[in-house]
Amino acid sequence: MFTGEIRAHLVNDLIPFWDRLRDEKNGGFYGFMDADLNLEREAKKGGILNSRILWFFSNCAVYLKDERCLLDAKQAYEFLRDHLVDSRYGGVYWSVQADGTPADTLKHTYNQAFAIYGLSSYYEASGDREALQLAFTLANLVEEKMRDENGYLESFNRDFSPSDNEKLSEHGVNAYRTMNTLLHLLEAYTELYRVSKDSMIRGKICEMLDIVAEKVYNPELKRQECFFDADYHSLTDLHSYGHDIEASWLTERSLEVLDDPAYTAKILPILHAVRDCSMEKGFSGEYLFNECDKGVQDKTAVWWVQAETVVAMVNAYQKSGNPDDLECAEKVWAFIRRVLIDRASGGEWHSETDPDGTDHRRPMVSQWKCPYHNGRMCLEVLKRLDK
């Protein structure tokens, strides 16, 4: 069992690395470090990065009962509350300058989701009801300004007038809706419902699960489609192995928190199908490929995809008791340990690598590179297996 290695990695590597990024002058945490570990102290600070740091340290504080982690979570919370929330129009900015003044004032539903996620976890860790109220303020804003009668929209200007979805569009499309935003809003509302048991949030979780089953899931290809027009017509031929493997356990978490037998019966077979299809088509025997676009495999080993694969296969082992599932998780962890963990940084992971383990040129810290996926992997493995 690899839980001892996972605990040591979390406590001795990941937590100290991110703790060292506290910005004691301006608040929050520094927003950028390049692949050569050069820290840019004046770099912009992304809302997603700050919210994910908030989530990470809040959950570490709860699980490890670590007061330093709670102080780090408070550092991230206060920066979000005081600088990332728009006091005029509401909502969380995409980014601010190092000193906390607005930089990119775009409002994205994905960004609001991660703020809700982090705030809900911070409320659990700290008992601070102000954080819980801010989470509900953002959730109400999402429901009032960032959706239509068919589901959730994506991108808005500062005043919530519509904006092109360039932040979460790729593969040559400008998507009206995305699976990625829906998945993480579902994740955020699940966390908010778990700590509050609010009936409105529960209803929205059910609505999102229906969209997953009826609009996002492709039963013929056994995958989730990624990019959509307004009517949920898929805009690409793309199989995102990472998002499907993440959704396979993360959406099951939503089912467990919701505790509704009818939704479990409706959604769980879909989650098993997308997990099994992703592993069948994208698993090398050591790691999970990134994606398949128009039939062409992208075999890049992306850090977050490997973290989510470990959790998904541990979750599968928990539910099935099949030792092959646990062996698969251990194989991916061995790949992570051998290829992705950067000892020069003190144990944070490279963003991605070629299949041969070279080309580590992506940033070590950025708006997207954070302790959320790999930190959550550690916490999930320990909660599930370290009994």
pLDDT digits (tens, 9 = 90+) for 330-345: 999 999 999 999 999 9
pLDDT, position 386: 87
Residues of the chain with pLDDT under 70: none
pLDDT, position 355: 80
Query: 100, 72, 70, 69: which is closest to 86 by C-alpha?
Result: 100
Task: Evaluate if pTM is beyond 0.85.
Answer: yes
State phi, psi for 148 to the nearest 5 degrees. -130, -170
Provide the token pair at 337: 């340990």
Query: 337, 378, 348, 356: which is closest to 21 by C-alpha?
Result: 348
97-114: per-residue pLDDT in tens? 999 999 999 999 999 999
Provide the token pair at 265: 């019966």
Q: Which strands sit side by side in the sheet containing 102-104, from one edge to the other? A: 45-46, 95-96, 102-104
Is residue 92 within 8 Å of 115, Cβ to Cβ? yes
Is residue 312 within 8 Å of 305, Cβ to Cβ? no
State phi, psi for 301 to the nearest 5 degrees. -90, 100
pLDDT, position 172: 86
What letter does residue 359 receive in the DSSP assignment? Answer: -
Amino acid at 53: I
pLDDT, position 170: 84
Question: End-to-end CA distance of the chain, in Å?
Answer: 12
Query: 323, 332, 233, 231: which is closest to 278 by C-alpha?
Result: 332
Please enumerate in sequence order all residues whose Cβ is within 8 A of that of 265, keeping only pairs 6 or more positions apart, or say none.
none
pLDDT, position 63: 98
pLDDT, position 104: 98
Domains, the chain? 3-385 (1.50.10.10)
User: How far apart are alpha carbons 365 and 254 in whole angstroms?
Assistant: 29
pLDDT, position 169: 85
pLDDT, position 52: 98
